[in-house]
């Protein structure tokens, strides 16, 4: 019986009612019954997904009760479910004649107009309702108006409308959820803080209000205030899994990895945890250089979601940090297979292949990364490094020029040019470029040493670096 929650007696009554109705239809008889019983039959067929049959019952019911706004509204709902919008609107027009004060008639009309992208008409319908609506109905009308603005991607208007809704019903969970989503788009975090502080005064024990306040503080990088708000969420509702995860993420962003792990441990004690939670736990261990434990957590996330390509990539990075290149290559390869459009995954494959001396694959993977993201200087650097490994300086210079053309703001390529000059034995020119590179960023010296590790012992270069650090 679908979602019908009947006891045995009610179930038996409905079954009998359906049988009587079906017999009357088969024998082409008039089926006289009260409207409430007819509505039960309609609801049953609608629950079963048999809209044609439900509509047939509505039509027969209207023969007995032609002035029933409830039946006309039900007919419009079914027609809309079948995407017969014009007929649904006609039915609503009739319903409104018989009962112009029925709120659901106008709300459904606005919903259908929104579906048809007739936004201004939908807005007019709802604004007319607002003029005469009771305080009790206003929150529902504003929520429907927010639907119109969201469908039309008018997010500032959506935000204001949801705020209007919440002024009448501060603990409306749907409105609070959608406002939080809207604030993420508009980034009106400061206004959101002020508004949710008002709501807290009206409903101090509403966890969702405190959560939205935390998100607004987080959006402004005011982490201490965000943490305090999330602690209120957990104090109000200790099963608020989203609050634990967000709290751990904030501690992670602050570099407080042990504190984040402590929060996640509390979270797991509640029996909670999805792939994102285990992934975050892996990131904390990763940052603490507990690479084996990090991989364990990343794999836990993969047990939940085997297609979680980012987890494979992070596993590859942990192996890369341990210089376990064969294992890194396997993980990077899996990530790139699951998401072939992500340039970083191909770059990971290229780097592992370079260290494993699989140079052809290193070149093709780096080129694929550049194809997907032409302004990624790291890909050009790795590709140049690969060609230098086979002493093809001519191609390396060509790639450097392409990199300069594609990554016009990438000053680190100056260090690559210095490395190429040193590689060719042009020390004087190399020194000039080296000085230019460290003038931009002293740590660009590491790029030169990436190409030519022996230069790390060069006294003159070290003297230049030391001087730069002092200035």
Secondary structure of the chain in HEC code, one letter for each residue = CCCCCCCHHHHHHHHHHHHHHHHHHHCCCCCCCCHHHHHHHHHHHHHCCCHHHHHHHHHHHHHHCCCCHHHHHHHHHHHHHCCCHHHHHHHHHHHHHHCCCCHHHHHHHHHHHHHCCCHHHHHHHHHHHHHHCCHHHHHHHHHHHHHHHHHCCCHHHHHHHHHHHHHHCCCCHHHHHHHHHHHHHHCCHHHHHHHHHHHHHHCCCCHHHHHHHHHHHHHCCCHHHHHHHHHHHHHHCCCCHHHHHHHHHHHHHCCCHHHHHHHHHHHHHCCCCCHHHHHHHHHHHHHCCCHHHHHHHHHHHHHHCCCCHHHHHHHHHHHHHCCCHHHHHHHHHHHHHHCCCCHHHHHHHHHHHHHCCCHHHHHHHHHHHHHHCCCCHHHHHHHHHHHHHCCCHHHHHHHHHHHHHHCCCCCHHHHHHHHHHHHCCCHHHHHHHHHHHHHHCHHHHHHHHHHCHHHHHCHHHHHHHHHHHHC
* pLDDT value, residue 24: 63
- Count the domains in the chain: 1
The tens digit of pLDDT for each residue in 411-467 reads: 999 999 999 999 999 999 999 999 999 999 999 999 999 999 999 999 999 999 999
Q: Does residue 142 form part of some domain?
A: no
Copy the structure tokens of residue 343. 């340039």
Is residue 273, in this structure, part of any structural domain at all?
no
Q: Which two tokens stand for residue 299?
A: 């794999």
Burial 418-427 (b: 16+ CB within 10 A, else e): bbbbbbeeee
Question: Of 24 and 332, which is predicted with more confidence?
Answer: 332
419 occurs within a structural domain: yes
Model confidence at 221: pLDDT above 80: yes
Is residue 445 one of the residues assigned to a domain?
yes
- Count the neighbouring beta carbons within 10 Å of the beta carbon of residue 438: 22
pLDDT band of residue 2 (cuts 50, 70, 90) is: very low
Mean pLDDT (whole number) for 25-38: 65
Residue 458 located in a structural domain: yes
What is the spatial distance between Cα 287 and Cα 120, in angstroms, rounded to a whole number? 52
Task: Give burial (CB, 10 Å; 0-12/13-18/19+) of 121.
Answer: middle
Answer yes or no: is 444 within a domain.
Answer: yes
User: What is the tens place of the pLDDT at every residue in 334-382?
Assistant: 999 999 999 999 999 999 999 999 999 999 999 999 999 999 999 999 9
- Tell me the whole-structure pTM to 2 decimals: 0.79
pLDDT tens digit sequence for 261-293? 999 998 988 876 789 999 999 999 999 999 999
| Assigned token pair, 405 | 């053309």
Q: Is 436 a domain residue?
A: yes
Residue 242 and residue 234: Cα distance in Å, rounded?
10
pLDDT computed for residue 34 by the predictor: 66
Q: Give pLDDT, residue 39.
A: 77
Q: How far apart are CA 138 and CA 121, in angstroms?
A: 19
Tens of pLDDT, residues 174-191: 999 999 999 999 999 999
Q: Is residue 388 part of a domain?
A: no
Range of the domain at 420: 414-471
CA–CA dist 83, 27 (Å, integer): 31
C-alpha to C-alpha distance for 336 and 82, rounded to whole angstroms: 42
Contact 227, 247 (CB under 8 A): yes
């Amino acid at each position: 019986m679908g979602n019908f929650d009947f006891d045995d007696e009610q179930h038996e009554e409905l079954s009998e009612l359906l049988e009587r109705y079906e017999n009357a239809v088969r024998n082409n008889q008039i089926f006289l019954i009260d409207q409430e019983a007819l509505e039960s039959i309609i609801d049953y067929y609608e629950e079963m997904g048999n809209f044609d049959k439900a509509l047939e019952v509505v039509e027969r019911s209207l023969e007995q009760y032609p002035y029933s706004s409830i039946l006309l509204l039900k007919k419009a709902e079914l027609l809309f479910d079948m995407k017969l919008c014009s007929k649904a609107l006609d039915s609503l027009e009739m319903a409104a004649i018989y009962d112009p004060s029925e709120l659901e008639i106008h709300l459904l009309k606005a919903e259908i107009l929104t579906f048809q992208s007739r936004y201004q008409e939908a807005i007019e319908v709802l604004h007319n309702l607002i003029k005469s609506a009771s305080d009790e109905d206003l929150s529902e009308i504003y929520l429907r108006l927010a639907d119109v603005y969201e469908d039309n991607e008018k997010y500032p208007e959506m935000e204001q409308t949801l705020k209007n809704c919440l002024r009448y019903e501060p603990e409306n969970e749907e409105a609070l959820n959608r406002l939080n989503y809207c604030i993420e788009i508009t980034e009106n975090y400061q206004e959101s803080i002020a508004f949710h502080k008002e709501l807290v005064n009206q409903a101090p024990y509403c966890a969702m209000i405190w959560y939205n306040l935390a998100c607004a503080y987080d959006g402004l990088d005011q982490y201490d205030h965000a943490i305090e708000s999330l602690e209120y969420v957990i104090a109000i509702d200790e099963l608020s899994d989203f609050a634990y995860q967000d709290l751990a993420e904030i501690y992670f962003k602050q570099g407080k990895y042990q504190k984040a792990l402590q929060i996640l441990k509390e979270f797991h004690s509640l029996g909670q945890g999805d792939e994102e939670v285990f992934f975050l736990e892996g990131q904390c261990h990763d940052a603490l250089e507990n690479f084996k434990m990090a991989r364990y957590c990343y794999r836990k996330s993969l047990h939940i979601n085997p297609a979680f390509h980012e987890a494979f990539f992070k596993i590859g990075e942990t192996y890369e940090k341990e210089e376990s290149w064969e294992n890194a290559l396997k993980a990077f390869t899996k990530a790139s297979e699951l998401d072939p459009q992500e340039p970083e995954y191909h770059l990971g494959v290229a780097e592992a292949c370079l260290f494993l001396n699989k140079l052809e694959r290193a070149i093709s993977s780096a080129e694929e990364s550049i194809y997907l993201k032409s302004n990624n200087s790291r890909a050009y650097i790795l590709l140049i490094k690969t060609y230098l490994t086979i002493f093809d300086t001519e191609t390396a210079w060509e790639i450097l020029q392409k990199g300069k053309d594609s990554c016009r703001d990438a000053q680190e390529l100056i260090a690559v040019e210095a490395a190429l000059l040193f590689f060719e034995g042009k020390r004087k020119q190399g020194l000039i470029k080296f000085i230019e590179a460290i003038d931009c960023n002293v740590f660009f010296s590491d790029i030169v040493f990436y190409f030519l590790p022996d230069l790390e012992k060069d006294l003159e270069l070290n003297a230049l670096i030391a001087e730069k650090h002092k200035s």
